[in-house]
Amino acid sequence: MTYFTFKDEDGNAYGSFEVFHQNVGTWTDEDGEQHEDGPGWYWWACFPGCMPDGDLIGPFETRQEAIDDAQS
């Protein structure tokens, strides 16, 4: 797990996101619905030490692809 900062088009930092690799896994959302995600790199909006503030995005083949997607 690694945290990064979102940046706007002027380079100003705001918020943060976490990038991580996971193998196939099952998780349950806040509505109790189960999801299964494939292996790969993922990101989600999240401050260190806090619960995610959004959906899991991915999978991506590389860590850099996940970072680039989050910052686009």
Reference 71, options 4, 21, 20, 22; nearest CA is 4
Report d(CA 3, CA 48) in Å as an integer. Answer: 7
Per-chain mean pLDDT for the chain? 83
pTM score, two decimals?
0.70
Q: What is the pLDDT of residues 15-30, one digit of tens each?
A: 889 999 988 667 777 7
Any idea where the domains of the chain sit in the sequence? 2-26+36-70
Laid out side by side, the sheet with 2-7 consists of 2-7, 13-22, 40-45, 57-60
Q: What is the pLDDT of residues 34-51, one digit of tens each?
A: 877 788 999 999 888 888
